[in-house]
């Protein structure tokens, strides 16, 4: 689900600028390994979001002194994140409701 991956990426980079591998690790950890995406599929999504100007990237040094490409949320990205989050909450609430009335 492309939209879901986009939402997760936006949420992950909203806390602080992160590089690709860290984003992948974070999504896996936070989702308690439930979301089994191939790590590679992250990159087309990252570049697409960058094209949409929802995130921006810059090269910077990591803690260990290596050069890596860090992604951070833009203003437009923050708006998009809020919109998507609200959508998602509404949708999951609706699904929950349907499931509970069983």
Partner 1 sequence: MSWAEKLWLRLRPLLRREQAARELDKEVQFHLEQQIAENIAAGMSPSEARYTALRIFGNTSSVKEQTKETWGWIRVEQIFQDLRYALRQLRKTPGFSATALLTLALGIGANAAIFTLVDALMMRHLPVTDPKTLIRIGDTNDCCVNGGVPDNADFSLFSTEVYERLKKSAPEFEQLAAMQAGFAYRPVVARREGTAETARSMMGEFVSGNYFDTFGLRPAAGRLFLESDDAEGAPMVAVLSYDAWRSTYAGDPTVVGSTFWINTKPVTIAGIAPEGFFGDRLSTSPPAFYFPLMTHEAISNVPYVHNNNIGWIYIIGRVKPGTPILPLQDKLSALIRGWAKETKMFDNNTDKSLPEKTHVVLTAGGGGIQDLRDQYESNLRLLMGASGLVLLIACANIANLLLVRGMRRKMEMSVRTALGAAKARIVRQLLTESVLLAGLGGLAGLLVAYLGAQMLLKLAFAGAKTIPVNALPSFAVLGFAFALSLLTGILFGVAPAWIASQANPAEALRSGSRGATSGASLLQRGLVVLQAALSLVLLVGAGLFAQSLMRLQGTDLKLDSKNRYIAHINPQGAGYSTTQVEALYRLIEQRFHQVSGVKNVGISIYTPMEDNNWGNSVQVQGQVFTGKSASVVKANAEYFGSVGTHVVTGRGIGVQDVFTAPAVAVVNQTFVKTFFPNGENPIGRRFGGPGPKSPGDFEIVGVVEDTVYTTVRWKDHSMYFLPITQHAPSDDSPIEKDPSMYAGALVLQTEAPINNIEALTRKTLAEINSNLAVVKFQTFDQQIADRFHDDKMIAQLTALFGGLALLLAAIGLYGVTAYTVARRTSEIGIRMALGARRAGVIGMVMRGAMSQTVIGLAIGIPAALLCVRFVRSQLYEIQGVNVAVMTVAILSLMLASLLAGMIPARSAASTEPAQTLRAE
| Residue indicated by tokens 């929802």 | 54
Of the two residues 2 and 4, which places its CB atom closer to partner 1 in the complex? 2
Interface with partner 1 (CB under 8 A), residue total 20
* 27-86 binders of partner 1 (CB under 8 A): 38-41, 43-44, 46-48, 51, 53, 59, 66-69
Q: What 3-state DSSP class applies to 71?
A: strand
For partner 1, the binding residue among 2, 15, 16, 21 (CB under 8 A) is 21
| Residue indicated by tokens 């809020």 | 82
Q: Is 66 left (phi over 0), alpha (psi -120 to 50) or beta?
A: beta
- Asked if residues 57 and 69 have their Cβ atoms less than 8 Å apart, the reply is yes
Of the two residues 32 and 40, which places its CB atom closer to partner 1 in the complex? 40
Chain contacts with partner 1 (rule: CB under 8 A): 19-21, 24, 38-41, 43-44, 46-48, 51, 53, 59, 66-69
């Amino acid at each position: 689900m492309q939209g879901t991956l986009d939402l997760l990426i936006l949420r992950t980079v909203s806390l602080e600028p992160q590089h690709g591998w860290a984003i992948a690790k974070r999504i896996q950890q936070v989702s308690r390994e439930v979301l089994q995406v191939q790590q590679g599929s992250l990159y087309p999504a990252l570049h697409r979001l960058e094209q949409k100007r929802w995130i921006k990237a810059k090269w910077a040094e990591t803690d260990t002194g290596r050069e890596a490409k860090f992604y951070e949320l833009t203003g437009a990205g923050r708006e998009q994140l809020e919109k998507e989050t609200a959508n998602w909450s509404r949708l999951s609430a609706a699904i929950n409701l349907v499931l509970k009335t069983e």
